[in-house]
Amino acid sequence: MLKDILSRLKKNADGKPKRNPVTVPYRYQINAEECRSCDKCKKACKAGAISGERGKAYVINEQKCIKCGDCMKWCKYRAIKRLAMYSEEPKQ
Ligand code: SF4
Ligand code: SF4
C-alpha cells in the first residue's frame, strides 16, 4: 500500500493529475451488469483510466483514476458507483 501511495504522489509531482487520490477516501467502479458499453465515460475520462469495447462491460483502472467523478456524471445508465475506498464491494 505504501508503494502505491508513493507512486501516486510521484505522478502528482510530475505535474500530471492535480487531485491527490491518496486523500480521497473513495473509489469509482463500473457495475458490469448495468454497463451498456456506450463509450461515454471513456471519452469523458481525462486521465485515460477507462477501457472497454462494444458489447463488454467497461472497466476503471484504479491506478490511473484521479477521482474527478466525470465518468459518473456522463453515465446515463447509472452504471458507475462511488464506493468507500475499502468497501466490501469486490474490485474489478
Ligand atoms: S457511460 Fe456507463 S454505460 Fe456507458 S460505457 Fe461507461 S459505464 Fe458503461
Ligand atoms: S473518476 Fe475521473 S479519472 Fe476516475 S475513471 Fe472517472 S472520469 Fe476517469
44 Cβ closer than 6 Å to some ligand 1 atom: no
Question: What is the reported pLDDT for 35?
Answer: 97
User: Is the Cβ–Cβ distance between 60 and 34 less than 8 Å?
Assistant: no
Atom of ligand 1 nearest to the CA of 50: 6
Measure the CA–CA gap between 52 and 27, rounded to whole angstroms: 18
Q: Which residues contact 81 (CB under 8 A, 6 or more apart)?
A: 28, 29, 30, 31, 72, 89
Q: What is the pLDDT along the chain (92 residues), one digit of tens a residue?
A: 566 655 555 555 555 555 555 567 899 999 999 999 999 999 999 999 999 999 999 999 999 999 999 999 999 999 999 999 887 777 77
Strands 26-30 and 50-51: unpaired
Question: What is the reported pLDDT for 15?
Answer: 53
- CATH fold label, 25-87: Alpha-Beta Plaits (3.30.70)
Atom of ligand 1 nearest to the CA of 42: 6
The full set of domain ranges for the chain reads 25-87
If one residue of 33, 35, 73 were mutated to test the ligand 1 pocket, choosing by the most ligand atoms within 8 A of its CB, it would be 35
pTM of the model: 0.76
Ligand 1 centroid distance, CA of 13 (Å): 31
